[in-house]
Amino acid sequence: MTNDPLLSLRKVSKIFGNGHYGLKDIDLDIAAGEFVSLLGPSGCGKTTTLRVVAGFEAASAGQILLGGAEIGHLPPNRRPVNTVFQDYAVFPHMDVAENVAFGLSVRGTPRAEIRRKVGEALDLVGLADKAKRPVSALSGGQRQRVALARAIVCEPQLLLLDEPLSALDASLREQMQIELKNLQSRLGTTFVMVTHDQTEALSISDRIAVMQGGVIEQIASPAELYDRPATRFVAGFIGTMNLLPGKVSADGRLEVPGSSLPMPAEAHGFGAGSAVVLGLRPEDLEISTASAGIPIRVENVVFHGRSLRVIGRIASGEEMILDVPRSAAAELPAEGASAVLRLRTGAVPVVLPA
Ligand code: ATP
């Protein structure tokens, strides 16, 4: 990052009363205007990170800086940060405009300014015509937009979103993902969102922090996470990745069962004899009955819309998954047949320590 970050976590840890480490030495820099998602399996520390930044939870160690100033000692309402929760938390007895106005009224904002800001916020979320509707008469997606309008109307420097779309059904959720992304680009506000849905994170984030066991395994753009996962966990967590055991030969090539591949230029630091794992996407592999390649036994061929997914097993027991265009269906070995796997021309494996 070239500019100074808006939000910085410096060696932040959270140890709960029972001695459990929720976060371990988290370092995280987020630039102004970025949309960053915290992604990971249940219990990895996503929500704890958000709560520590919002001030609902005190960090046990480390610093939280916003615009270069330490905010770790401030109560939640003194932090220039707002949070949107999973359950929307709208006030059912108020109408849409009253819900959105709430935060401004509490701060004693003059009436005319409240009216203008609420109007602008409702415009932004596409609810201008619903201002006087009781919230109870709105759909789930509309309520979520009210919650968003309420959070952005106070113009926080940073908006934290905790699984904001998880209560919505699949099609509405997909639509709201795009709306959320558009809203964020229009506002230019920094968004940090917790999600356990990788498709959601990959489709709307500028960068994603992949967490596991209270640490950030990797923070990178969606494309970089997909193309160059830094750890086995990230490789296995983002999309489908085949993990093929291999070894570095004396002349620096990658030896895999029945084949050898050149070491990719970007993989370095693996000396001769090192045990490695090669990460290969299903679209990086092809299958044939020719003699050269990694021997595989085809177990299943599954219809996948535009492609066929072939699931097979290599001699060392690892399952391998590859996607084949439907146009190539006629040349596919049958289920139960022996064949060989090869890397498609131009495909580069990710090389990770074993
Ligand atoms: P989920 O997706 O299930 O919400 P998460 O990644 O958001 O998971 P956190 O809620 O941040 O996970 O929790 C991280 C870890 O800290 C978990 O193991 C959780 O059980 C533990 N934890 C969270 N809050 C407390 C608490 N108040 N006391 C003790 N342990 C806690």
Q: Quote the ipTM score.
A: 0.95
- Pick from 4, 158, 141, 173: nearest CA to 83: 158
pLDDT of 87 > 90? The answer is no
The pocket around ligand 1, CB under 6 angstroms, is made up of 16, 18, 20, 22, 40, 42-48, 196
Whether residue 205 is predicted with pLDDT greater than 60 in this model: the reply is yes
The rounded mean pLDDT for the chain is 91
- Measured in Å, residue 43 CA sits from the centre of ligand 1 at 5
Residues 6+ apart with CB under 8 A from 298: 287, 310, 311, 312, 332, 333, 334, 335, 336, 337, 338, 339
CB 312 within 8 A of CB 335: no
Please give the average per-residue pLDDT across 170-198, as a whole number.
90
Q: How many percent of the chain have pLDDT more than 70? A: 99
Q: Where are the domains of the chain?
A: 5-232, 242-353
**Any idea which residue has 């370092």 for tokens?**
27
Q: Which atom of ligand 1 is nearest to the CA of 50?
A: 11
Say whether pLDDT at 28 is over 70. yes
pLDDT at position 273 over 70:
yes
Instruction: Tell me what pLDDT residue 84 has.
Output: 87
In this structure, whether the domain defined by 242-353 belongs to CATH 3.30.930.10 is answered with no
Index of the ligand 1 atom closest to the CA of residue 211: 6
Q: Which tokens is 144 given?
A: 């979520």
In this structure, what token pair is assigned to residue 313? 């097993």
Q: Is the pLDDT of residue 168 over 90?
A: no
The answer to whether residue 181 scores a pLDDT higher than 90 is: yes
- Cβ atoms < 10 Å from Cβ of 4: 12
- 123: pLDDT strictly greater than 70: yes
Architecture of the domain made up of 5-232: 3-Layer(aba) Sandwich (3.40)
- The CA 194 to ligand 1 mean position distance, Å, reads 13
* Cα–Cα distance list, 343 to 51, 279, 320 (Å): 44, 11, 12
Q: What gap in Å lies between CA 223 and CA 46, rounded to an integer? A: 21
Distance from the alpha carbon of residue 214 to the mean position of ligand 1, in angstroms: 9
